[in-house]
Structure 1
Amino acid sequence: MSGLWGCDVTDKGCAALASALRSNPSYLRDLNLSGNKLGDSGVTLLSTELENPRCKLEMLWLLNCGVTNEGCAALTSALRSNPSHLRELNLSENKLGDSGVKLLFTVLENIDCKMEILRLIDCGITDESCAPLTSALRSNPSHLRDLNLSGNKLGDSGVKLLSDLKNDSYFKIERLYC
Protein backbone atom coordinates (compact mmCIF):
# COMPACT_ATOMS: atom_id res chain seq x y z
CA MET A 1 0.00 0.00 0.00
CA SER A 2 1.30 3.42 -0.92
CA GLY A 3 0.64 5.29 2.27
CA LEU A 4 0.78 9.04 2.64
CA TRP A 5 -1.43 9.00 5.73
CA GLY A 6 -1.34 12.34 7.55
CA CYS A 7 1.60 13.75 5.60
CA ASP A 8 0.13 17.25 5.13
CA VAL A 9 -0.56 16.57 1.46
CA THR A 10 -2.71 19.36 0.02
CA ASP A 11 -4.25 19.96 -3.38
CA LYS A 12 -0.78 21.04 -4.63
CA GLY A 13 0.62 17.67 -3.61
CA CYS A 14 -2.31 16.06 -5.40
CA ALA A 15 -1.32 17.91 -8.56
CA ALA A 16 2.14 16.31 -8.37
CA LEU A 17 0.64 12.91 -7.62
CA ALA A 18 -1.81 13.29 -10.53
CA SER A 19 1.11 14.11 -12.81
CA ALA A 20 2.92 10.95 -11.68
CA LEU A 21 -0.22 8.90 -12.30
CA ARG A 22 -0.52 10.43 -15.76
CA SER A 23 3.05 9.34 -16.55
CA ASN A 24 2.61 5.77 -15.35
CA PRO A 25 -1.07 4.99 -14.71
CA SER A 26 -0.74 1.22 -14.51
CA TYR A 27 1.89 1.06 -11.75
CA LEU A 28 0.04 2.25 -8.63
CA ARG A 29 -2.44 -0.27 -7.18
CA ASP A 30 -3.06 1.02 -3.65
CA LEU A 31 -3.19 4.63 -2.51
CA ASN A 32 -3.87 5.86 1.03
CA LEU A 33 -4.11 9.64 1.33
CA SER A 34 -6.15 9.60 4.54
CA GLY A 35 -5.74 12.38 7.08
CA ASN A 36 -4.55 14.95 4.54
CA LYS A 37 -6.09 18.28 3.54
CA LEU A 38 -6.93 17.36 -0.04
CA GLY A 39 -10.37 18.91 -0.13
CA ASP A 40 -12.52 18.77 -3.22
CA SER A 41 -9.89 20.33 -5.48
CA GLY A 42 -7.31 17.66 -4.62
CA VAL A 43 -9.79 14.84 -5.13
CA THR A 44 -10.84 16.39 -8.45
CA LEU A 45 -7.21 16.42 -9.62
CA LEU A 46 -6.79 12.76 -8.70
CA SER A 47 -10.13 11.84 -10.21
CA THR A 48 -9.07 13.12 -13.60
CA GLU A 49 -6.32 10.49 -13.63
CA LEU A 50 -8.62 7.74 -12.38
CA GLU A 51 -10.65 8.16 -15.57
CA ASN A 52 -7.72 6.85 -17.60
CA PRO A 53 -8.54 3.27 -18.72
CA ARG A 54 -4.87 2.37 -18.12
CA CYS A 55 -5.23 3.32 -14.43
CA LYS A 56 -5.21 0.11 -12.39
CA LEU A 57 -5.79 1.54 -8.91
CA GLU A 58 -7.52 -1.12 -6.82
CA MET A 59 -7.62 0.50 -3.39
CA LEU A 60 -8.20 4.17 -2.56
CA TRP A 61 -8.44 5.55 0.96
CA LEU A 62 -9.46 9.18 1.40
CA LEU A 63 -10.54 9.01 5.04
CA ASN A 64 -10.86 12.44 6.70
CA CYS A 65 -9.60 14.46 3.72
CA GLY A 66 -12.13 17.32 3.67
CA VAL A 67 -14.12 15.86 0.78
CA THR A 68 -17.68 17.09 0.25
CA ASN A 69 -20.31 16.21 -2.33
CA GLU A 70 -18.36 18.25 -4.94
CA GLY A 71 -15.30 16.02 -4.62
CA CYS A 72 -17.55 12.99 -4.48
CA ALA A 73 -19.13 14.09 -7.79
CA ALA A 74 -15.68 14.26 -9.44
CA LEU A 75 -14.73 10.87 -8.05
CA THR A 76 -18.06 9.41 -9.20
CA SER A 77 -17.52 10.73 -12.71
CA ALA A 78 -14.09 9.11 -12.84
CA LEU A 79 -15.37 5.80 -11.55
CA ARG A 80 -18.20 5.82 -14.07
CA SER A 81 -15.58 6.19 -16.83
CA ASN A 82 -13.31 3.49 -15.41
CA PRO A 83 -15.31 1.28 -13.01
CA SER A 84 -13.59 -2.05 -13.39
CA HIS A 85 -10.42 -1.81 -11.28
CA LEU A 86 -11.26 -0.19 -7.94
CA ARG A 87 -11.98 -2.91 -5.38
CA GLU A 88 -11.88 -0.89 -2.16
CA LEU A 89 -12.93 2.68 -1.44
CA ASN A 90 -12.83 4.42 1.93
CA LEU A 91 -14.36 7.90 2.08
CA SER A 92 -15.08 7.79 5.82
CA GLU A 93 -15.16 10.94 7.96
CA ASN A 94 -15.87 13.27 5.04
CA LYS A 95 -18.91 15.52 4.72
CA LEU A 96 -20.49 13.74 1.78
CA GLY A 97 -24.08 13.74 3.00
CA ASP A 98 -26.90 12.09 1.13
CA SER A 99 -26.38 14.03 -2.10
CA GLY A 100 -22.72 12.98 -2.40
CA VAL A 101 -23.23 9.30 -1.68
CA LYS A 102 -26.28 9.02 -3.93
CA LEU A 103 -23.99 9.98 -6.81
CA LEU A 104 -21.44 7.41 -5.70
CA PHE A 105 -24.08 4.69 -5.53
CA THR A 106 -24.71 5.10 -9.27
CA VAL A 107 -21.27 3.60 -9.82
CA LEU A 108 -22.25 0.46 -7.90
CA GLU A 109 -25.09 -0.29 -10.30
CA ASN A 110 -22.70 -0.53 -13.25
CA ILE A 111 -22.16 -4.19 -14.10
CA ASP A 112 -18.47 -3.41 -14.76
CA CYS A 113 -18.03 -2.14 -11.19
CA LYS A 114 -16.03 -4.66 -9.16
CA MET A 115 -16.01 -2.83 -5.82
CA GLU A 116 -15.88 -5.30 -2.95
CA ILE A 117 -15.34 -3.01 0.04
CA LEU A 118 -17.00 0.37 0.60
CA ARG A 119 -16.49 2.36 3.79
CA LEU A 120 -18.56 5.48 4.39
CA ILE A 121 -18.27 5.78 8.17
CA ASP A 122 -19.49 9.06 9.69
CA CYS A 123 -20.31 10.80 6.41
CA GLY A 124 -23.65 12.40 7.35
CA ILE A 125 -25.73 9.76 5.57
CA THR A 126 -29.41 9.32 6.49
CA ASP A 127 -32.21 6.92 5.56
CA GLU A 128 -32.68 8.98 2.39
CA SER A 129 -29.64 7.23 0.87
CA CYS A 130 -30.64 3.68 1.69
CA ALA A 131 -33.20 3.24 -1.11
CA PRO A 132 -30.78 4.38 -3.87
CA LEU A 133 -28.08 2.16 -2.38
CA THR A 134 -30.28 -0.93 -2.28
CA SER A 135 -31.47 -0.19 -5.82
CA ALA A 136 -27.88 0.04 -7.05
CA LEU A 137 -26.95 -3.21 -5.34
CA ARG A 138 -29.97 -4.95 -6.86
CA SER A 139 -28.68 -3.87 -10.30
CA ASN A 140 -25.21 -5.32 -9.63
CA PRO A 141 -25.40 -7.78 -6.71
CA SER A 142 -22.31 -9.85 -7.33
CA HIS A 143 -19.35 -7.93 -5.94
CA LEU A 144 -19.87 -5.84 -2.81
CA ARG A 145 -18.91 -7.97 0.20
CA ASP A 146 -18.19 -5.39 2.90
CA LEU A 147 -20.28 -2.27 3.48
CA ASN A 148 -19.62 -0.02 6.46
CA LEU A 149 -22.05 2.83 7.09
CA SER A 150 -21.56 3.05 10.86
CA GLY A 151 -21.54 6.45 12.54
CA ASN A 152 -24.20 7.82 10.18
CA LYS A 153 -27.77 8.87 10.94
CA LEU A 154 -29.55 5.79 9.68
CA GLY A 155 -32.93 5.06 11.20
CA ASP A 156 -34.77 1.78 11.54
CA SER A 157 -36.18 1.86 8.00
CA GLY A 158 -32.76 2.35 6.38
CA VAL A 159 -31.13 -0.33 8.50
CA LYS A 160 -33.96 -2.73 7.64
CA LEU A 161 -33.54 -2.14 3.88
CA LEU A 162 -29.82 -2.87 4.13
CA SER A 163 -30.22 -5.82 6.50
CA ASP A 164 -32.71 -7.42 4.12
CA LEU A 165 -30.04 -7.28 1.40
CA LYS A 166 -27.45 -8.86 3.65
CA ASN A 167 -29.82 -11.66 4.59
CA ASP A 168 -30.74 -12.39 0.97
CA SER A 169 -28.51 -15.13 -0.50
CA TYR A 170 -28.76 -13.47 -3.93
CA PHE A 171 -26.36 -10.80 -2.67
CA LYS A 172 -22.73 -11.35 -1.65
CA ILE A 173 -22.63 -8.95 1.31
CA GLU A 174 -20.78 -10.74 4.08
CA ARG A 175 -20.24 -7.79 6.44
CA LEU A 176 -22.66 -4.93 6.96
CA TYR A 177 -22.14 -2.28 9.59
CA CYS A 178 -24.83 0.34 10.15
Structure 2
Amino acid sequence: MKVLQKLLPVIKESRSVQLYNCGVTDKGCAALTSALRSNPSHLRELDLSWNKLRYSVKLLSDVLQDPQCKLEKLGLSDCDITDEGCAALTSALRSNPSHLRDLNLSWNKLRDSGVKLLSDVLQDPHCKLEKLRLSDCGVTDKGCSALTSGLRSNPSHLRELDLSKNKLRDSSKKLLSDLKKDPHYKLETLHY
Protein backbone atom coordinates (compact mmCIF):
# COMPACT_ATOMS: atom_id res chain seq x y z
CA MET A 1 0.00 0.00 0.00
CA LYS A 2 2.85 2.42 0.81
CA VAL A 3 4.39 1.89 -2.64
CA LEU A 4 1.01 2.43 -4.29
CA GLN A 5 0.51 5.66 -2.29
CA LYS A 6 3.84 6.96 -3.64
CA LEU A 7 2.79 6.08 -7.20
CA LEU A 8 -0.62 7.78 -7.08
CA PRO A 9 0.60 11.21 -8.33
CA VAL A 10 2.24 9.48 -11.30
CA ILE A 11 -0.83 7.31 -11.94
CA LYS A 12 -3.03 10.42 -12.15
CA GLU A 13 -1.08 11.56 -15.22
CA SER A 14 -0.32 8.17 -16.82
CA ARG A 15 -1.89 6.87 -20.01
CA SER A 16 -1.03 3.26 -19.07
CA VAL A 17 -1.07 1.72 -15.58
CA GLN A 18 0.20 -1.86 -15.15
CA LEU A 19 -0.38 -3.11 -11.62
CA TYR A 20 -0.80 -6.82 -12.29
CA ASN A 21 0.16 -9.23 -9.52
CA CYS A 22 1.02 -6.43 -7.12
CA GLY A 23 -1.03 -7.49 -4.12
CA VAL A 24 -3.52 -4.64 -4.62
CA THR A 25 -6.25 -5.04 -2.00
CA ASP A 26 -9.61 -3.34 -1.50
CA LYS A 27 -7.87 -0.48 0.32
CA GLY A 28 -5.32 -0.04 -2.44
CA CYS A 29 -8.00 -0.17 -5.11
CA ALA A 30 -9.96 2.53 -3.26
CA ALA A 31 -6.90 4.80 -3.32
CA LEU A 32 -6.27 3.99 -6.98
CA THR A 33 -9.83 4.70 -8.09
CA SER A 34 -9.81 7.95 -6.14
CA ALA A 35 -6.71 9.01 -8.08
CA LEU A 36 -8.26 7.93 -11.38
CA ARG A 37 -11.47 9.85 -10.65
CA SER A 38 -9.47 13.08 -10.37
CA ASN A 39 -8.30 12.74 -14.00
CA PRO A 40 -10.40 10.08 -15.80
CA SER A 41 -9.82 11.33 -19.35
CA HIS A 42 -6.09 10.65 -19.39
CA LEU A 43 -5.87 6.90 -18.78
CA ARG A 44 -6.12 4.61 -21.82
CA GLU A 45 -4.88 1.27 -20.45
CA LEU A 46 -5.31 -0.30 -17.00
CA ASP A 47 -4.20 -3.79 -16.00
CA LEU A 48 -5.00 -4.97 -12.49
CA SER A 49 -4.85 -8.69 -13.28
CA TRP A 50 -3.84 -11.21 -10.61
CA ASN A 51 -4.97 -9.02 -7.74
CA LYS A 52 -7.85 -9.98 -5.46
CA LEU A 53 -10.23 -7.14 -6.25
CA ARG A 54 -13.47 -9.07 -5.73
CA TYR A 55 -15.57 -6.22 -4.24
CA SER A 56 -13.31 -3.36 -5.35
CA VAL A 57 -14.42 -3.82 -8.94
CA LYS A 58 -17.48 -1.77 -7.91
CA LEU A 59 -15.19 1.17 -7.13
CA LEU A 60 -13.50 0.77 -10.48
CA SER A 61 -16.90 0.70 -12.17
CA ASP A 62 -17.61 4.18 -10.79
CA VAL A 63 -14.61 5.47 -12.72
CA LEU A 64 -15.61 3.61 -15.90
CA GLN A 65 -19.09 5.11 -16.01
CA ASP A 66 -17.74 8.66 -15.88
CA PRO A 67 -18.40 10.16 -19.36
CA GLN A 68 -14.89 11.63 -19.29
CA CYS A 69 -13.33 8.17 -18.90
CA LYS A 70 -11.64 7.19 -22.18
CA LEU A 71 -10.21 3.82 -21.08
CA GLU A 72 -9.56 1.57 -24.10
CA LYS A 73 -7.97 -1.51 -22.55
CA LEU A 74 -8.88 -3.13 -19.22
CA GLY A 75 -7.22 -6.23 -17.77
CA LEU A 76 -8.95 -7.87 -14.82
CA SER A 77 -7.99 -11.51 -15.26
CA ASP A 78 -7.84 -13.65 -12.10
CA CYS A 79 -9.18 -10.88 -9.85
CA ASP A 80 -11.72 -13.04 -7.99
CA ILE A 81 -14.59 -11.25 -9.74
CA THR A 82 -17.96 -12.98 -9.49
CA ASP A 83 -21.18 -12.37 -11.35
CA GLU A 84 -21.99 -9.67 -8.76
CA GLY A 85 -18.83 -7.74 -9.63
CA CYS A 86 -19.53 -8.33 -13.30
CA ALA A 87 -22.96 -6.72 -12.81
CA ALA A 88 -21.31 -3.52 -11.53
CA LEU A 89 -18.78 -3.59 -14.35
CA THR A 90 -21.35 -4.13 -17.11
CA SER A 91 -23.60 -1.43 -15.66
CA ALA A 92 -20.70 1.01 -15.99
CA LEU A 93 -19.96 -0.17 -19.52
CA ARG A 94 -23.59 0.29 -20.54
CA SER A 95 -23.50 3.91 -19.38
CA ASN A 96 -20.17 4.62 -21.17
CA PRO A 97 -19.76 1.95 -23.89
CA SER A 98 -17.97 3.75 -26.68
CA HIS A 99 -14.30 3.72 -25.64
CA LEU A 100 -13.38 0.28 -24.32
CA ARG A 101 -11.77 -1.85 -27.06
CA ASP A 102 -10.11 -4.67 -25.12
CA LEU A 103 -11.51 -6.43 -22.04
CA ASN A 104 -9.87 -9.38 -20.29
CA LEU A 105 -11.95 -11.07 -17.58
CA SER A 106 -10.39 -14.53 -17.84
CA TRP A 107 -10.04 -16.77 -14.78
CA ASN A 108 -12.90 -15.15 -12.87
CA LYS A 109 -16.09 -16.78 -11.61
CA LEU A 110 -18.48 -15.00 -13.98
CA ARG A 111 -20.52 -18.05 -14.97
CA ASP A 112 -23.46 -17.77 -17.35
CA SER A 113 -25.14 -14.92 -15.46
CA GLY A 114 -22.07 -12.69 -15.81
CA VAL A 115 -21.68 -13.56 -19.49
CA LYS A 116 -25.37 -12.74 -20.06
CA LEU A 117 -24.71 -9.26 -18.65
CA LEU A 118 -21.73 -8.87 -20.99
CA SER A 119 -23.85 -9.94 -23.95
CA ASP A 120 -26.27 -7.10 -23.10
CA VAL A 121 -23.34 -4.67 -23.38
CA LEU A 122 -22.31 -6.18 -26.73
CA GLN A 123 -25.81 -5.53 -28.10
CA ASP A 124 -25.44 -1.79 -27.61
CA PRO A 125 -24.69 -0.17 -31.00
CA HIS A 126 -22.31 2.22 -29.21
CA CYS A 127 -20.21 -0.68 -27.93
CA LYS A 128 -16.86 -0.76 -29.76
CA LEU A 129 -15.33 -3.76 -27.99
CA GLU A 130 -12.90 -5.57 -30.31
CA LYS A 131 -11.28 -8.12 -27.97
CA LEU A 132 -13.06 -10.07 -25.25
CA ARG A 133 -11.27 -12.72 -23.18
CA LEU A 134 -13.37 -15.01 -20.98
CA SER A 135 -11.12 -18.04 -20.62
CA ASP A 136 -11.96 -20.35 -17.69
CA CYS A 137 -14.93 -18.32 -16.42
CA GLY A 138 -17.38 -21.18 -15.87
CA VAL A 139 -19.32 -20.45 -19.06
CA THR A 140 -21.67 -23.19 -20.30
CA ASP A 141 -23.84 -23.54 -23.40
CA LYS A 142 -26.44 -21.20 -21.86
CA GLY A 143 -23.91 -18.38 -21.50
CA CYS A 144 -22.51 -19.06 -24.95
CA SER A 145 -26.01 -18.80 -26.42
CA ALA A 146 -26.52 -15.40 -24.77
CA LEU A 147 -23.13 -14.24 -26.01
CA THR A 148 -23.76 -15.27 -29.62
CA SER A 149 -27.16 -13.58 -29.48
CA GLY A 150 -25.47 -10.37 -28.31
CA LEU A 151 -22.92 -10.59 -31.09
CA ARG A 152 -25.63 -11.07 -33.70
CA SER A 153 -27.30 -7.84 -32.55
CA ASN A 154 -24.12 -5.78 -33.05
CA PRO A 155 -21.89 -7.65 -35.50
CA SER A 156 -19.54 -4.91 -36.57
CA HIS A 157 -16.85 -4.69 -33.89
CA LEU A 158 -15.75 -7.83 -32.03
CA ARG A 159 -12.64 -9.25 -33.70
CA GLU A 160 -11.28 -11.60 -31.03
CA LEU A 161 -13.16 -13.85 -28.61
CA ASP A 162 -11.56 -16.27 -26.16
CA LEU A 163 -13.86 -18.77 -24.47
CA SER A 164 -11.23 -21.46 -23.96
CA LYS A 165 -11.31 -23.68 -20.86
CA ASN A 166 -15.07 -23.31 -20.42
CA LYS A 167 -17.73 -26.01 -20.45
CA LEU A 168 -18.94 -25.68 -24.04
CA ARG A 169 -20.42 -28.58 -25.96
CA ASP A 170 -20.06 -29.10 -29.69
CA SER A 171 -23.37 -27.33 -30.43
CA SER A 172 -22.08 -24.12 -28.82
CA LYS A 173 -18.76 -24.40 -30.59
CA LYS A 174 -20.65 -24.71 -33.87
CA LEU A 175 -22.65 -21.53 -33.11
CA LEU A 176 -19.40 -19.68 -32.55
CA SER A 177 -17.73 -21.17 -35.63
CA ASP A 178 -20.72 -20.17 -37.77
CA LEU A 179 -20.38 -16.58 -36.54
CA LYS A 180 -16.71 -16.57 -37.42
CA LYS A 181 -17.40 -17.89 -40.93
CA ASP A 182 -20.24 -15.45 -41.63
CA PRO A 183 -18.97 -12.43 -43.64
CA HIS A 184 -21.39 -10.09 -41.80
CA TYR A 185 -19.36 -10.51 -38.62
CA LYS A 186 -15.83 -9.25 -38.06
CA LEU A 187 -14.78 -12.09 -35.75
CA GLU A 188 -11.26 -13.08 -36.85
CA THR A 189 -9.85 -14.97 -33.86
CA LEU A 190 -11.87 -17.47 -31.88
CA HIS A 191 -10.68 -19.76 -29.07
CA TYR A 192 -12.96 -22.32 -27.38
TM-score (ref. length: structure 1): 0.98
Post-superposition CA distance 1:11-32 (Å, at most 9, x none): 1111111111110001110000
Post-superposition CA distance 1:52-106 (Å, at most 9, x none): 0100000000010000000000000000000000000000000110111111110
1:128 offset after TM fit, Å?
0.7
**Does 2:129 correspond to 1:115?**
yes
1:87 match: 101
1:75 match: 89
Taking the TM superposition and a 5 Å limit, the aligned residue runs for 1:1-178 are 1-39=16-54, 41-178=55-192
Count of residues in correspondence between the two structures = 177
1-side partners of 2:135 and 2:65: how far apart? 25
SS in 2 for 1:73: helix
- Structure 1 runs (4+) deviating above 2 angstroms are none
Structure 1: where are the runs of 5+ without partners? none
1-side partners of 2:90 and 2:184: how far apart? 26
1-side partners of 2:162 and 2:112: how far apart? 15
1:117 offset after TM fit, Å?
0.1
SS in 2 for 1:86: coil
1-side partners of 2:25 and 2:115: how far apart? 23
1:159 offset after TM fit, Å?
0.5
Instruction: Select the structure of larger CA radius of gyration.
Output: 2
SS in 1 for 2:56: helix
